[in-house]
Amino acid sequence: FSEDVAGKVVLITGASSGIGEHLAYEYARRGARLALVARRENRLREVAEQAEQIGSPDVLMIGADVSKVEDCKRIVDQTVDHFGTLDHLVNNAGISSVCMLEEVDEITNLRPVMDTNFWGSVYTTRFAIPHLRNSRGKIVVLSSSSAWLPMPRTSIYNASKAALLMFFDTLRVEFGSDIKITIVTPGFIESELNQGKYLQGEGKMTVDQDMRDVQVSVMPVGRAKACAKAIVNSACRGQRYLTEPSWFKVTYIW
């Protein structure tokens, strides 16, 4: 059974680029109403316009930073105020971090990774629960194959993605069949996150071409559009996990 999401309300965090942008287009193609969240409102506006052209009957843009608990609450409140309900919550917003722990100038510079990737998803989900219970809705969460792939210099990012796995697997037990959860663990998907710009040192974004070259040489490179389609299919079918077999080979290589 695959859910028809036409007219349903879908909240997507991190919709201004990459996988989140294509998730917006894929849900739009199926006629869903959308609440799109990101910090870059100019980019979000372009995605919203495109999603409307593709077929979404109503798109709400919300400029917000999911690393802030008050923004996570506002995201959910604004969505429900506007649409009256919430059917799918897609926790997609994330940032990367590539650095050796001993090279980090200030240890607290690593906090934004957990604040965005882990706590952003936890807080947004917490505020969404009553609405998702009412609609018998669904949650999608973007973990990563990195959750079980200990590559050098990715310790904090990997830990944030591994934390998501266990957190949402446990929520699944708490929710039973009331709210279904799809946990997604993509491999290497071409996106801004992977274009060689990484958070390092004092919060600077630096280009790490070596890292990117290594990744591209060993990992099959996926496209955000295909990834988004697979994610929406899985969510609509209520699948528990979405993984790609070749990503396990990558784990084996490392």
The site for ligand NDP (CB under 6 A) is made up of 13-20, 37-40, 43, 64-67, 92-95, 116-117, 142, 144, 186, 188-189, 191-194, 224
Q: Which is nearer to ligand NDP, 135 or 225 (CB)?
A: 225
Coil/strand/helix, residue 84: coil
Least spacing, CB of residue 176 vs ligand NDP, in Å = 26
Q: Which is nearer to ligand NDP, 6 or 226 (CB)?
A: 226
The candidate with the shortest Cα–Cα distance to 195, out of 46, 37, 18, is 18
Which residue lies nearer to ligand NDP by CB, 193 or 211?
A: 193
> Phi and psi (nearest 5°) for 20?
-65, -40
Least distance CB 183 / ligand NDP (angstroms) = 11
What does the DSSP assignment read for 96-116? -B---GGG-SSGGGGHHHIII
CA-to-CA dists, residue 147 to 160, 176, 203, 218, angstroms: 8, 24, 23, 17
61 versus 93: smaller Cβ distance to ligand NDP: 93
Q: Angle formed by the axes of helices 18-29 and 41-54, to 10°?
A: 30
* Cβ 166 to ligand NDP shortest distance, Å: 16
To the query of whether residue 241 is one of the catalytic residues in this protein, the response is: no
Q: Looking at beta carbons only, is 13 or 234 nearer to ligand NDP?
A: 13
Catalytic entry in 157, 198, 241, 252: 157
Smallest distance, ligand NDP to C-beta of residue 145, A = 6
Tokens linked to 186: 């993509």
What is the rounded CA–CA span in Å between residue 172 and residue 97?
Answer: 28
Contacts (Cβ under 8 Å, ≥6 apart) of 192: 17, 18
Least separation in angstroms between CB 57 and ligand NDP: 23
Gap between the Cα atoms of 126 and 14, Å rounded: 18
Interior angle at CA 18, CA 71 and CA 158, nearest 5 = 75
What whole-number distance in Å separates Cα of residue 84 and Cα of residue 230? 28
Between 7 and 150, CB nearer to ligand NDP: 150
Select from 27, 105, 121, 25 the least CA-distant residue to 72.
Answer: 121
Least distance to ligand NDP, CB of residue 246, Å = 13
Active site (catalytic) residues: 157
